[in-house]
Amino acid sequence: MFKVLFLLSAIVVSGSVAIPAAVPASSFVLIGDSTTANGTTENSGGWGNGFCGSNAVSPAVPSALEPNTPCINTAKNGATTGTFVANGYFDISIKAIKAEVAKGRKTYATIQFGHNDQKVATPESMGANLTAMVKQVRSAGGEPILVTPLTRRTFNSANQISDSLGPWADQTKLIAQQQNTHVLDLNAASIKYCNAIGPDACHRLNRSPTDNTHLNQGGTIVFGRMVADLMTASFPNQLPIIANPDLTRNISLGIPSF
Ligand SMILES: *[C@@H]1O[C@H](CO)[C@@H](O)[C@H](O)[C@H]1NC(C)=O
Ligand SMILES: *[C@@H]1O[C@H](CO)[C@@H](O)[C@H](O)[C@H]1NC(C)=O
Ligand SMILES: *[C@@H]1O[C@H](CO)[C@@H](O)[C@H](O)[C@H]1NC(C)=O
């Protein structure tokens, strides 16, 4: 009995020593297209709701962030890096970043494009636009995080993902290297996971059975967590992210959650 108590108190003491210092007050602003956006209509719905959480959808989606962490999803359905700026959405993102920075909060801005850029111009054109965005996020006081595009859930006859976004992911990584930003390789991680769980389980994350681009509730939870885990790996012990060991384990072992 004494021995057990002694061991327990030893654990408590070493546990208290191991508690990491509190992370700084932080905010998140999401920038991108429909594969990030929190839309509830057809042809929309990305990982943003699963990352930020939302009570506006039913059933409500829990946040991957600690309570009272602002998470402002400014992503827009159909946007390219060109139209996002031209139609004024990027101004909204920059205003949101400045407002959070003004409150003394460390403000992270994720930037993910490719799905629509791919329809209008070259990867290099997107790259130039991403570079401009990174610079503007920095001058607004934010910390840019480039994100490679979430895969489309289209499979070939060998039941492997056949994704056309590789050059867009590569371009995003190139800009991250050139501009010295963090980058989350969501494209590679989402391809790896869908290849592991196979077409049926991967398509259960679709917004509608034939929509291989947008996400339902399960999809936003899974890919929101995938982004949270990539961020944790990129900024260890610096972010107010709530762990979800069960879901993280499913993702890393390639087990379907839904
Ligand atoms: C989507 O995000 C916007 C901006 O943060 C917010 O005003 C809106 O309530 C969100 N909608 C849903 C369904 O979560
Ligand atoms: C980049 O932005 C320009 C406008 O500045 C636009 O013409 C071009 O289509 C954009 N490129 C992509 C890939 O969206
Ligand atoms: C993990 O996967 C198992 C098996 O599919 C499932 O029962 C469980 O709900 C999943 N956990 C989470 C948190 O999604």
pLDDT in tens, 200-258: 999 999 999 999 999 999 999 999 999 999 999 999 999 999 999 999 999 999 999 99
Answer yes or no: is pLDDT of 10 > 60.
Answer: no
Ligand 3 centroid – CA 220 distance (Å): 15
Answer yes or no: is pLDDT of 7 > 80.
Answer: no
Confidence of residue 21 (pLDDT cuts 50, 70, 90): low
Which of 2-16, 47-61, 113-127, 162-176 has the least mean pLDDT?
2-16
Q: For ligand 2, is residue 130 a contact (CB within 6 Å)?
A: no
The mean of the pLDDT values for the chain is: 92
Contact between residue 73 and residue 48 where contact means Cβ atoms under 8 Å apart: yes
The pTM (predicted TM-score) of the whole model is 0.91
Sequence-separated (6 or more) residues with CB below 8 Å from residue 89: 74, 76, 79
Taking phi first (over 0 means left), then psi (-120 to 50 degrees means alpha), and beta for anything else, what does residue 198 get? left
SS3 at position 73: strand
Ligand 3 centroid – CA 77 distance (Å): 30
Answer yes or no: is pLDDT of 86 > 90.
Answer: yes
Ligand 2 centroid – CA 169 distance (Å): 16
Mean pLDDT, residues 79-94: 98
Q: How far apart are CA 71 and CA 86, in angstroms?
A: 24
Residue that wins the pLDDT comparison between 42 and 157? 157
Alpha-carbon radius of gyration of the chain: 19
Contact between residue 41 and residue 57 where contact means Cβ atoms under 8 Å apart: no
Place of tokens 């990867």: 123
What is the tens place of the pLDDT at every residue in 119-130? 999 999 999 999
Confidence of residue 43 (pLDDT cuts 50, 70, 90): low
List all residues whose CB is within 6 A of at least one atom of ligand 3.
246-247, 250, 255-257
Contact between residue 67 and residue 243 where contact means Cβ atoms under 8 Å apart: no
Q: How many residues does the chain have?
A: 258
**Atom 9 of ligand 3 has which residue's CA nearest to it?**
257
**Atom 3 of ligand 3 has which residue's CA nearest to it?**
257
Q: For ligand 2, is residue 190 a contact (CB within 6 Å)?
A: no
Confidence of residue 20 (pLDDT cuts 50, 70, 90): low
What is the 3-class SS of 142-210, one letter each residue?
A: CEEEEECCCCCCCECCCCCECCCCHHHHHHHHHHHHHHCCEEECHHHHHHHHHHHHHHHHHHCCECCCC
Answer yes or no: is pLDDT of 73 > 60.
Answer: yes
- Secondary structure of the chain: what % helix, strand, coil (to 5)? 45, 15, 40
Question: End-to-end alpha-carbon separation of the chain, Å?
Answer: 44
Q: For ligand 2, is residue 125 a contact (CB within 6 Å)?
A: yes
Q: Which amino acid type is present at position 183?
A: V
Q: How far apart are CA 6 and CA 161, in angstroms?
A: 53
Atom of ligand 1 nearest to the CA of 40: 13
User: What pLDDT is recorded for position 41?
Assistant: 67
**Atom 7 of ligand 2 has which residue's CA nearest to it?**
82
Confidence of residue 14 (pLDDT cuts 50, 70, 90): very low
Give the containing element (helix H, strand E) for 96: helix 89-102
User: What pLDDT is recorded for position 17?
Assistant: 44
Atom of ligand 3 nearest to the CA of 258: 5
**Atom 10 of ligand 2 has which residue's CA nearest to it?**
82
Q: Which two tokens stand for residue 57?
A: 């959808």
User: What pLDDT is recorded for position 3?
Assistant: 42
Ligand nearest to the CA of 127: 2
Mean pLDDT, residues 169-173: 98
Best mutation site among 223, 251, 257 for ligand 3 pocket (most ligand atoms within 8 Å of CB): 257
